[in-house]
Amino acid sequence: MTTPDPNNPWTRPDPQRPDAPYEDGQPTAPQYPQYPDASGYPPPGGDPPPGPGQPGQGPYPPPGYPPIPNQPGYPPPYPPPAGGYPPPAGGYPPPPGGYPPPGYGQGPYPGEPHGGPQYMGNPQYGAPYFGYAGDPVVPDPQGGFGAWWNKTWSIFANNWQQLFLIALITSVLPGIVGSIILGSQHWEMLTIVQHAGSSDTLIFHWHAIGIVAAIGLLFGIVGLFANAIGWVAGIWVVTRRGVGSPAPLGAALAYGVRNCLRVGGILLLVGLMTLAGAIACFVPGLYILVASSLVVPFAVFDRGSGAISSSFRAVNRNFGAVLGRLVVATVVFIAASFVFSCLAGAIFPNASRFGTSGTGPSPSTFDIVGSSILTSVLDVPLTMFFLVGLFAIYAQVRARAVPTTAADLNAALGA
């Protein structure tokens, strides 16, 4: 037995088998019962394990001898079949252990092709040990970028209605409230004095800038915890629906509220770390942003480990794959968001002049709030698509390290 890899966040013993630690990122082989050979008889001279509710049995007789009558646990010898034919050689009854045939297991959940969920550290007999392409939420761990991309779109298509409602409540509504407060006060943070034949003069009003910055910081923190509710609730919905369980909106939001302080605190710490890295040097800030990208799934599914350190270890083990997927998801988000912003700017052109004077009419509250609402609503599907993409990255990376199915993730949700 080798020492578990410290860089693999999932190399820890199965909680139900604490004496069987993982070895080099792979779980130890489960101990399956010894099935009889092709003849259907148990090996001579051994005790088959007793079945449920059956007493222990004495030893089998040597090969070629009939069963010993009147022994505890042995049925009486079988009578000869009709027609006068003698019983088959050996005359042993079927083993009473009650072992199921290979492949026997729980009934499948919707979309599962392998006869039942495979729980971490206890895979089903005859089923693949790692994730498979038919799993409703876990991309094939060996499928590469294509498996992640297809699974992301599949999850988004199957859950977009509830994800949209969750994002409206936890992201759009706080943004609307903040826009109304800021838009109702016409703070002039900047005055532009235009001179004929010379450059313009910029006059900064620091008192107004300080007020707007303080309000923005306050709503930023509130919005971060509100988004934590939405992200956790979205992960809960995707996971529950992946195993065919009901996922009502109220229960999803309640689950998000119960976990928002813990997850929001982690996101706040990650934001401060990223800001410090960006101030020190731009590249470390980018690295922290990438390495901490999986903190929310880790905070939801792996509560026994530090979400930030576990995200760093998992990303470092799969840095190229994670970086490539993040770049694609980010490009999709930024490109679509830019198009939506241009659309909102065309509908509410005066909103872009918030806080300035001397260059035209000041924007009305209607312009500011209307532009904010339109942009936020249009960005909702982008935000949820990005969340689903991160979820699929986490699931695929985890499936590369330990056996992972939708049932495993659902069992890890907790209360």
Supply the pLDDT for residue 379. Answer: 85
Query: Count of domains in the chain?
Result: 1
> Could you tell me which residue, 38 or 251, shows the higher pLDDT?
251
For residue 91, is it within any domain? no
For residue 319, is it within any domain? yes
Asked if the model's pLDDT at residue 267 lies above 70, the reply is: yes
> Could you tell me which residue, 287 or 8, shows the higher pLDDT?
287
Instruction: Among 37-41, 89-93, 138-142, name the most confident range.
Output: 138-142
For residue 39, is it within any domain? no
Give the range among 312-326, 346-360, 391-405 with minimum mean pLDDT: 346-360
State the SS3 of the chain: CCCCCCCCCCCCCECCECCCCCECCECCCCCCCCCCCCCCCCCCCCCCCCCCCCCCCCCCCCCCCCCCCCCCCCCCCCCCCCCCCCCCCCCCCCCCCCCCCCCCCCCCCCCCCCCCCCECCECCCCCCCCCCCCCCCCCCCCCHHHHHHHHHHHHHHHHHHHHHHHHHHHHHHHHHHHHHHHHHCCCCCEEEECCCCCCCEEEECHHHHHHHHHHHHHHHHHHHHHHHHHHHHHHHHHHHHHCCCCCCHHHHHHHHHHHHHHHHHHHHHHHHHHHHHHHHCHHHHHHHHHHCCCHHHHHHHCCCCCHHHHHHHHHHHCHHHHHHHHHHHHHHHHHHHHHHHHHHHHHCHHHHHCCEECCCCCCCHHHHHHHHHHHHHHHHHHHHHHHHHHHHHHHHHHHHHCCCCHHHHHHHCCC
For residue 184, is it within any domain? yes
For residue 316, is it within any domain? yes
State the residue range of the domain holding 377. 144-412
Asked if the model's pLDDT at residue 165 lies above 70, the reply is: yes
Asked if the model's pLDDT at residue 383 lies above 50, the reply is: yes
> Could you tell me which residue, 129 or 136, shows the higher pLDDT?
136
Supply the pLDDT for residue 170. Answer: 92
> Could you tell me which residue, 268 or 210, shows the higher pLDDT?
268
Asked if the model's pLDDT at residue 60 lies above 60, the reply is: no
- Quickly state the pLDDT bin for 86 (edges 50, 70, 90): low
For residue 180, is it within any domain? yes
For residue 189, is it within any domain? yes
Asked if the model's pLDDT at residue 23 lies above 90, the reply is: no
Instruction: Among 4-18, 178-192, 313-327, name the most confident range.
Output: 313-327
For residue 217, is it within any domain? yes
Q: What is the mean pLDDT of residues 124-147?
A: 71
